[in-house]
Structure 1
């Protein structure tokens, strides 16, 4: 295989390592759907180039070198033995193009996330975790498999300035200025969905947090993370991966 590290900047290599780690973490937490979801990250620099997974490779197999560099149209811009799924980049390209701050876009099909996406009320404020997710949350109605370019403006509109998006009857999506931030947002959103499904399985009425507390949660969330967002947990997550299997760094 070509030595990818020698062909890219140190900044891009660090991004590749973080993105490969994110794929491994998704697999570790059991959030992957074989090969059918994607995580993308914008490469530093003036070009609109992005890193995405090689199509057909399981998330637990992905390494920094195997990530494929593409443009906004999903075309490869750097030699790679791997192919990508341009259709899978449809959602990601729309958000990357519209949101300069969305340096990483993470989209998953977790069972708990899809279960909540199918409920009329969506995510309810029944747990502390859900409050953090709801503080920056949008919804996008299902329009079929995301292959239609015409859907992009509506997807961008429904995300707005939020960092979390529930795709009705489809799954979950988060964005962030870093891979770590997008991952932390997904961890909180997916956990919130799992908690709600578990709470509903008890068959009893659920107690929702009062509106005035929900309204003030964003400022409280910033205090909890000390303004550091995903970077607070990211080093520990990388240490965990390094203990288990550091090959994502290759």
Structure 2
């Protein structure tokens, strides 16, 4: 167990104080934070992943602003409502009165408020995601993996997302998609479940890395016919396959349990 996990485990366990459904969601969300860090998609204490609280449509769980992703546990997550009021938070100890990142609240509340079918929202500032977010061409549908995002959404940069007025534009630009590139900023994915949102972000990040690697080789890239791209995109849609993450999430949890099971605390 890491030193950080040992420190975080001092947060009182909340399992007996929440519903069984909320506790399971807390465990899965904490796992998602650990996995994001494990796969190189964290940014110190920045960025955020949120999930809607079962049975509480106007509340969601999110990270405390001050913890590294590798430190986050089920009990360390904050519960907030759509107006930013903190509904539940643990005692982090003397001098550690962690709150919610303002930009995180604005981005995540916007989507949770507007899309009741969305349970989980993930936002990242990875080097690959930020690099592609600055490219005029956007994400190229030049690999089987990236063709999954052939109709990805885009949101133009207009400053740090601190104003509630930004909510409308984020939701409008996301549209019916489950992934969006925030231009000159980073990446965002959503899902009906945590596994779905994580799977989308993992594949979107891989698509960005692959594009940068291919473009760096200074050779002409192969263009895939538009009809093949569209057919491949359709093969990734919900009506033709099982939900993303259904098979890999249990395996990922087993991986975390082997490495450090403290996310379950």
Identify the TM-score tier after normalising by the shorter chain.
Answer: over 0.9
Residue aligning to 1:184: 199
- 1:31-180 map, 5 Å: 31-81=41-91, 82-135=98-151, 137-180=152-195
How does the TM-score come out when normalised to structure 1?
Answer: 0.95
SS of match in other structure, 2:210 = helix
Residue aligning to 2:21: 11
Instruction: State the alpha-carbon separation in 1 of the partners of residues 135 and 127 from structure 2.
Output: 13
Instruction: State the alpha-carbon separation in 2 of the partners of residues 209 and 66 from structure 1.
Output: 46
SS of match in other structure, 1:74 = coil
Deviations along 1:168-211, one digit per CA (max 9) or x if unpaired, are: 00000000000000000001111000000000110111112211
Instruction: State the alpha-carbon separation in 1 of the partners of residues 241 and 253 from structure 2.
Output: 20
Distance of aligned partners of 1:130 and 1:212 in 2 relative to their CA distance in 1, 3 Å threshold: same
Residue aligning to 1:30: 40
| 2:103–2:160 Cα contact (<8 Å) kept | no
| 2:58–2:81 Cα contact (<8 Å) kept | yes
Gaps of at least 5 residues in structure 1 are none
**CA offset at residue 217 of structure 1?**
2.2
**CA offset at residue 152 of structure 1?**
1.3
How does the TM-score come out when normalised to structure 2?
Answer: 0.90
Residue aligning to 1:233: 248
**CA offset at residue 166 of structure 1?**
0.2
**CA offset at residue 133 of structure 1?**
2.0
SS of match in other structure, 2:111 = helix
- 1:185-200 map, 5 Å: 185-200=200-215
Gaps of at least 5 residues in structure 2 are 1-10, 92-97
Deviations along 1:192-236, one digit per CA (max 9) or x if unpaired, are: 00000000110111112211012122432259x941311121011
